[in-house]
Amino acid sequence: MVAIPSFSRQEGEVADLVCSWIEEKGVQYKRMGNNILLHKGCGKDGAPSLLLNSHIDTVKPSPKYTFDPFTPPYHPERIDGLGSNDAGGSAFALLHTFLHYLNEELPFNLGLILSAEEECSGENGIASLSSYISENYDFAIIGEPTCMRAAVGERGLLVLDGTAHGVTGHAARNEGVNAIDIAIKDITRLQNFHFGKISPSMGKIKLTVTQINAGTQHNVIPDTCTFVADIRTTEQYTPTEIWEMLQAEVESTLTPRRLTNQSSATPQGHILLEAVAQSGIESFISPTTSDWMKIDIPAIKMGPGDSARSHQADEYILCSEIENGIETYIKFIDTLEQLIHNGK
């Protein structure tokens, strides 16, 4: 998988590879675009359904790689290369977990979706399957590198493109209105903005200005200054509410890139939380987003590898992490099985 480039919206070849591997195992599957779907029914009317999900696409490689990210050096204890950690390890571990249960009796249905376009929040990834998922599944495990801790919530993401408008002029003659000055004032207002509601589980909304750009040459007052605000949201406000509140505070024009990347949280008292506790798995709130935000069923996020390695040069995942991931997934699903048998 690592040896095949699989950038978002260009996952066709790696999807071909995975499908060929599944066919060799004699397992039935469906392919919708570059999304791969497997399902095992338990044959029991009214039985719940668990979905396993991870993604097969990657970001583009960092220019700081010390080796070819698609022909990485061999190492007996780890897999190097682009997408190995995010999220090849999770996809591989979940695929083997699904195969483990293929011939075992379960009190619930089990499905697996290896999805495309996760890294770009694309329309042809899991978002295109949202209705299918809502109609056929009750809860889910989202495979992302979490060191096999269970994320029981994750912040949403709102990116705002800011544009400050001034008036151009000559720098030597005290002319014009400097758009940089406007942008600086507005950035300060954004950074000091107080959101009244604080999430009991996720804390405060986090706003960080990550980019700024202005000017054409040293002696010209710039009439435009652009900047970007990265906002990690909580369930206390919708992205639209946050955008509207911040726009009312600044002179610059704020344009949201997307208003659908909302935060997610596992409902209190849900069987997934009980299974996390019974399995002795550590839980936490994730600062990063995933395909979780695109589905309308309760979920947790859990997978092998470390999020700190994602999107970094010389990405890797330890073989032992993948092995432990498969074992932990199986332990978790076995715990779910016991809870369902006991009527939890």
User: Of all residues in the chain, what percent carry a pLDDT higher than 70?
Assistant: 100
Q: Which amino acid is at 123?
A: E
Cα 166 to Cα 226: distance, rounded to the nearest angstrom: 11
Residue 235 neighbours by CB under 8 Å, 6+ apart: 199, 202, 262, 263, 265
Going by their DSSP bridges, the two strands 109-115 and 49-55 should be labelled as: parallel
Q: Are residues 250 and 302 in the same domain?
A: no
**Same-domain check for residues 213 and 322:** no
Average of per-residue pLDDT across 267-293 = 95
Half-sphere exposure of 20 (CA within 13 A, CB side): 7
Residues 139-177 have pLDDT tens digits of 999 999 999 999 999 999 999 999 999 999 999 998 999
Instruction: Spell out where 71-149 has E strands.
Output: 78-80, 109-115, 139-142
User: Do 36 and 97 have their domain in common?
Assistant: yes
If asked whether residues 216 and 302 sit together in one domain, one would say no
One domain, residues 75 and 116: yes
Q: Which domain holds residue 31?
A: 12-154+263-341
CATH number at residue 208: 3.30.70.360
Residues 138 and 207 in one domain: no
Number of domains in the chain: 2
Residue type for position 39: H
What's the first-to-final CA gap in the chain, in angstroms?
A: 39
**What does 302-315 look like in DSSP terms, one character per residue?**
--SS-GGGTT-TT-
What pTM was estimated for this model as a whole? Answer: 0.87
Q: Is 228 helix (H, G, I), strand (E, B) or coil?
A: strand
Note whether 141 and 280 are same-domain residues.
Answer: yes
In a domain, 3, yes or no: no
Residue 66, domain member (yes or no)? yes
Same domain, yes or no, for 233 and 249? yes
Structure tokens at 290: 């995933």
Q: What is the pLDDT of residue 180?
A: 98
Structure tokens at 244: 């509207």
Q: Is residue 4 part of a domain?
A: no
Lowest mean pLDDT of 22-36, 190-204, 242-256, name the range: 190-204
216 and 325 part of one domain: no
- What would the pLDDT profile of 89-144 be if each residue is shown by its tens digit? 999 999 999 999 999 999 999 999 999 999 998 999 999 999 999 999 999 999 99
Q: What is the CATH classification number for the domain harbouring 323?
A: 3.40.630.10
For residues 31 and 56, membership in a common domain is answered with: yes
pLDDT digits (tens, 9 = 90+) for 188-240: 999 999 999 998 888 899 999 999 999 999 999 999 999 999 999 998 999 99
Quick check: 330 pLDDT over 80? yes
| Same domain membership, residue 148 and residue 45 | yes
Domain boundary among 200, 221, 256: 256
Give a yes or no: residue 2 inside a domain: no
At 344 the pLDDT is 57
Q: Verify that 33 and 128 share a domain, yes or no.
A: yes
CA 41 – CA 49 distance, rounded (Å)? 8
- Of the three residues 222, 256, 290, the one that is the final residue of a domain is 256
